[in-house]
Structure 1
Amino acid sequence: MLGFGLAIEPQLWALLFVMVRVGSAFITAPVFGNMSVPLQVRVALSGAIGVLVLASHPIQPPAQIFAVATFLAVAAEAMVGLALGFVLQIAFAAPLVAGEIIGGSMGIGFANMIDPNSGRSSPAIGQFLSIMLTLLFLSLDGHLVLVDMILKSYTAMPPGAAWLTTTQMRDIAFFGGYAFLAGLLLALPVGFLLLCLNLIVGMLSRAAPALNLFAVGLPASLGVGIVSLAIAFPAMGDYMQVIVREGLAATQALVIR
């Protein structure tokens, strides 16, 4: 007790307990989990959203801090938060898959860059598509929807009963295949044109064996790839909106029963 008749320790412990789920979601979620976001900003956002959770839900943290039941409750909270962010991260892997397909077909699969968001090496085209998907995610208020899903998760999976069921874990595993499907569909317009070009170049190589394919095929692949990207980008942008909505719907399926 402080000198003002206020018990600060229980409220602080409840806030820290709530911040476990929120912070875990921000670690794996897109935008919030980028390396460019400072750790202090994530902690501040987790604390601010934790205050909202405490104001809207009657959260009862474990009575004892150093106890086995407390450690299990914290692990359950962390697993739920990681699952909420991981589902969205699966959807955001689709542009990287599309970048691999398009870059390999264009002959620039070697053009890799260090992604400042993840710190890993990824195709340049994949980074470009990832930036576009991130901008669409923000323009569709996806970050606000994610925060709303975190708040709703305390109703569907309150602390103390926050373990994911086998059905929910199965849905997360099956949603992992959506990244490959969405990446293939995202790269389909450009990939189809490049496939047609490769067929034409193959027929030319059979008709004129003395033709230098490297001097003809690589510039043609680059030119057709750039032009087809410029033409197909409006349709790719529309499908990126579908990817964002599918990722948010999969996240919503975890918190609404």
Structure 2
Amino acid sequence: MWALLFVMVRVGAAFVFAPVFGNVSVPLPVRVALSGAIGVLVLGANPVTPPAQVFALATFVAVAAEALVGLALGFVLQIAFAAPLIAGEIIGGSMGIGFANMIDPNSGRSSPAIGQFLSILLTLLFLSLDGHLVLVDMVLRSYRALPPGAAWLTAGQLRDIALFGGYAFLAGLLLALPVGFLLLCLNLVLGMLSRSAPALNLFAIGLPASLAAGVVALAIAFPAMGDFMLVIVREGLDMTQRLVLR
């Protein structure tokens, strides 16, 4: 039982930050039961030896190292899943509906409606690619590359995680680029019209035009955005693999 609880620290920490598993809509007993089931698989596939004493300083340090590895595995994927929220902020602000917020089922916090829609779409693509199974496989492999007792992440690995944080902004910008560029051109045209014809009430024209152009642009750009979301999922999984198999 002590060995199982020790293994569940890394698995549970990974599921706290990982997408899908870390959603607030997933009940806590389900997470615990899932961590225990995967912990049994880990004990069957890898010879894990827990610390001899439960209440000891070395045990607390080993538990902290296990939690750090698990949080790193889940956090890397969570960085990739932040790209749709950034893209939703850009698109929603350009369309004039940045105030349209909804409760995100993944985090339980308020987020833009467009960003939440793109995030749900990315989650469905993640599940269709068996990303959740790949994550479980990465957790199992992490016990070979980072066995208990030698599970501290190196400075290079921590640097790679920090540098990968910039990928969320890059991917969010590229994801919003087709729609955002069209809306930027529309805003430029409306700006020139407002300078050339100040008597026109462009506020009554600009918002409906931005909404209509944004909806049409989203409908046209959905295939390209879906293909790029697949790239985002693969980049997140590849980064997780490099973190484990370094």
Choose which of 20, 24, 40 in structure 1 pairs with 2:29. 40
- The whole-number CA distance in structure 1 between the counterparts of 2:50 and 2:105 is 37
- Residue from 6, 15, 19 that aligns with 1:17: 6
> Please, which runs of 5 or more residues in structure 1 have no aligned partner?
1-11
Q: Of 99, 108, 127, which aligns to 1:119?
A: 108
Quick one: distance in 1 between partners of 2:237 and 2:26?
21
Select 2:198's aligned residue among 181, 184, 209.
209
SS in 2 for 1:168: helix
1:57 aligns with 2:73: no
Q: Which residue of 2 aligns with 1:199?
A: 188
Answer yes or no: is the 8 Å Cα contact 2:90–2:176 preserved in 1.
yes
Give the CA deviation at 1:72: 0.2
Alpha-carbon displacement from aligned partner over 1:88-137 (angstroms, at most 9, x marks no partner): 00000000000000000000000011112211110000000000000000
The code of the aligned residue for 1:18 comes to V
Is 1:104 paired with 2:76?
no
Question: Take 2:32 and 2:184, find their aligned partners in 1: how far apart are those partners?
Answer: 48
Separation of aligned partners in 1, 2:207 and 2:81 = 30
TM-score by length of 1: 0.95
Give the 3-state SS of the residue equivalent to 1:34 in structure 2: coil
Q: Which residue is 1:7 aligned to?
A: none
The total of aligned residue pairs comes to 246
CA distance in 2, matches of 1:249, 1:75: 25
The percentage of counterpart residues that share the same residue type is 84
Superposed displacement of residue 49, structure 1: 0.5
Could you list the structure 1 runs, at least 4 aligned residues long, displaced by more than 3 angstroms after superposition.
none
Deviations 1:138-189 (CA, angstroms, capped at 9, x unpaired): 0000000000000000000000000000000000000000000000000000
Match for residue 225 of structure 2 among 229, 232, 236: 236
- 2-structure distance, mates of 1:101, 1:144: 32
**Equivalent position of 1:84 in the other structure:** 73
Please report how far the alpha carbon of residue 243 of structure 1 lies from its aligned counterpart in structure 2 after TM superposition. 0.2
* Distance in 2 (alpha carbons) for counterparts of 1:235 and 1:39: 37
Question: Contact 2:18–2:78 at 8 Å: present in 1 too?
Answer: yes
> Secondary structure of 2:149's match?
coil
Q: Secondary structure at the match of 2:111?
A: strand
Mapped pair 1:143 → 2:132 = yes
Q: Could you report, residue by residue, the CA deviation over 1:182-229 in whole angstroms, capped at 9, with x for unpaired residues?
A: 000000000010001001101111111111121010000000000000
Q: Hey, what's the Cα distance between the residues in 2 that align with 1:164 and 1:214?
A: 54
Q: Could you tell me which runs of 5 or more consecutive residues in structure 2 were left unpaired when the two chains were aligned.
A: none
Q: TM-score, normalised by structure 2?
A: 0.99
Partner AA of 1:25 in structure 2: A
Q: Which amino acid aligns with 2:24?
A: M
> 1:154 aligns to what?
143
State whether residues 19 and 106 of structure 2, in contact with CA within 8 Å, keep that contact through their aligned partners in structure 1.
no
Deviations 1:70-94 (A, max 9, x none): 0000000000000000000000000
Q: What's the secondary structure of 1:179's corresponding residue?
A: helix
Determine the C-alpha separation between the residues in 1 that align with 2:97 and 2:203: 13
